[in-house]
Structure 1
């Protein structure tokens, strides 16, 4: 079996399969994208959206296949009961590694609609995959530094406008919207620079998910909050390719969206903004405690 081969051979095999899988699904994806651009009537748009979901889920399914072949990862997953493929969800998670995305795709594939991630605008230039993200309708966000915004105040609120425009395209059809609340991957250096009050997490950025609720809160069935723990430490992409990840722990909690948060404007309503930030901080405090508990329950091997 492949998992008995040396790591370099497993990683090489997985890399080739991942590349071939991506290139293979590009053909139907770009074909459907062209149809969607040309055929603007509603029935054709719905058909194209369904075909894109099939392509997206097919790509993830093949990735799940090679992940199982090259390693013997033990998956400890809780909280998937009650999810409905025909409903829309806002999904969030703690963020430790780019592997988090593969983990969430692995676990949630075909349980809810394929996740649409908020991506940095620069990622659209990633060869092949950037164009795939664009074709699949992933929202690209241009992020500005505080210093840049101080010099160019007219750029404030651009991310909000992009979020609303993107979410408007999802109205009336099931979708999975994903946003990392921390906004960036956890590292000890970032944690120290932020002076984060949390032990295992960076400070949450409430605006991203608040804008999604602002744009399509009435359509969302619930918020799915994922907590990811790697007992052996945060893995790199090569660890996935070479099958070196021994255990992955994922706990999901389905949270009802407070009715008080529906129909509000995060950028204009200061009382709502404060209440929402307090709600997110309470969520983060609970997640921080849960990560401490997971470290005790699933300690580092060796």
Structure 2
């Protein structure tokens, strides 16, 4: 509707509406979070958690309406059949841009349980958004370099402890745990530096996937593999707000969680090799799927 407005009017208006939407939703989100902290009764806390998710889904829903009104994105999405709001998912996706997050939220919001991402610990300091993510039980992970771990071996395994703590919370309510399998955004330079055997993807990091599956146990019902492609080429959040993203293609594929996909990834060498082989097979299929989306 408003996509034909001149950019000098449309872009500031979109930014103003997005910021207003943040304020509209984070204020009741913080109020409900405070009530949840002050009255630590199990039933009341569960009710507050459901209320927080409802606020977050409304927040995403309004963002989706704004992007529909102010952009001309052509959407091609397949694989939505069979998704369920009552089933818990491990969502695995490729990662090219911060635009991936609003894309995943648009495609999956209110179709499956609320998406929760593993975030870098520094993001908790983002004004309004950081505390909001914390209130919604997004796990914050602190990554350590190999040099830091070599100097401070006591930090080894801290991320796994944080993952297990987050998964313990996730088991209490319907949830979709989001994992960008590559661990970082795709760039041609990273692709070349890795010597990646895939055309459109970086090498997958199987350890994080295995650990979530093991920590969640039977709390997850399926793996939802999501391939996201931008036929117009790489894009940024600024491109999205400015209306320069013209087409997004998404393909979803469900995998059952077989008993053999759960095990001790760190301590069982045979299981680790089997799991890595499974992830690599899935990732080859993902690479081919993205190639077809871009054709």
State if a TM-score over 0.5 links the two structures.
yes
Shift of 1:249: 0.4
Equivalent residue, structure 2, for 1:267 = 266
TM-score by length of 2: 0.97
Equivalent residue, structure 2, for 1:238 = 238
Shift of 1:236: 0.8
TM-score by length of 1: 0.95
Deviations 1:107-159 (A, max 9, x none): 10100111100000011111111111111110000001112112222111111
Shift of 1:8: 3.3
Shift of 1:60: 0.3
**1:231 & 1:20 partners in 2: Cα distance?**
31
Which ranges of 4 or more aligned residues in structure 1 deviate by more than 3 Å? none
**1:116 & 1:176 partners in 2: Cα distance?**
6
Deviations 1:182-224 (A, max 9, x none): 0110001111111111111111111111111111131111000
3-state SS of 1:4 partner: coil
| Structure 2 gap ranges (5+) | none
**Is the contact between residue 121 and residue 142 of structure 1 (CA under 8 Å) also seen in structure 2?**
yes
Equivalent residue, structure 1, for 2:102 = 102
Shift of 1:24: 1.1
**1:200 & 1:217 partners in 2: Cα distance?**
31
Deviations 1:244-264 (A, max 9, x none): 2211100000111121123x2
Shift of 1:5: 1.2
**1:36 & 1:268 partners in 2: Cα distance?**
38
When residues 217 and 10 of structure 1 are mapped into structure 2, their CA distance, relative to the original with a 3 A threshold, is farther
Shift of 1:45: 1.4
Equivalent residue, structure 2, for 1:276 = 275
**Is the contact between residue 11 and residue 238 of structure 1 (CA under 8 Å) also seen in structure 2?**
no
When residues 128 and 172 of structure 1 are mapped into structure 2, their CA distance, relative to the original with a 3 A threshold, is closer
**1:277 & 1:256 partners in 2: Cα distance?**
17
Deviations 1:258-289 (A, max 9, x none): 21123x22122221111111111111111111
7-16 vs 99-108, greater mean Cα deviation? 7-16
**1:232 & 1:8 partners in 2: Cα distance?**
23
85-94 vs 268-277, greater mean Cα deviation? 268-277
Matched positions, count: 295
3-state SS of 2:89 partner: strand
3-state SS of 2:221 partner: strand
**2:272 & 2:157 partners in 1: Cα distance?**
15
**1:41 & 1:261 partners in 2: Cα distance?**
36
Equivalent residue, structure 1, for 2:214 = 214
**Is the contact between residue 39 and residue 45 of structure 1 (CA under 8 Å) also seen in structure 2?**
yes
Shift of 1:86: 1.1
User: Does residue 47 of structure 1 match 2:44?
Assistant: no
**2:261 & 2:40 partners in 1: Cα distance?**
34
| Structure 1 gap ranges (5+) | 297-302
**2:225 & 2:106 partners in 1: Cα distance?**
16
3-state SS of 1:76 partner: strand
**Is the contact between residue 8 and residue 242 of structure 1 (CA under 8 Å) also seen in structure 2?**
no
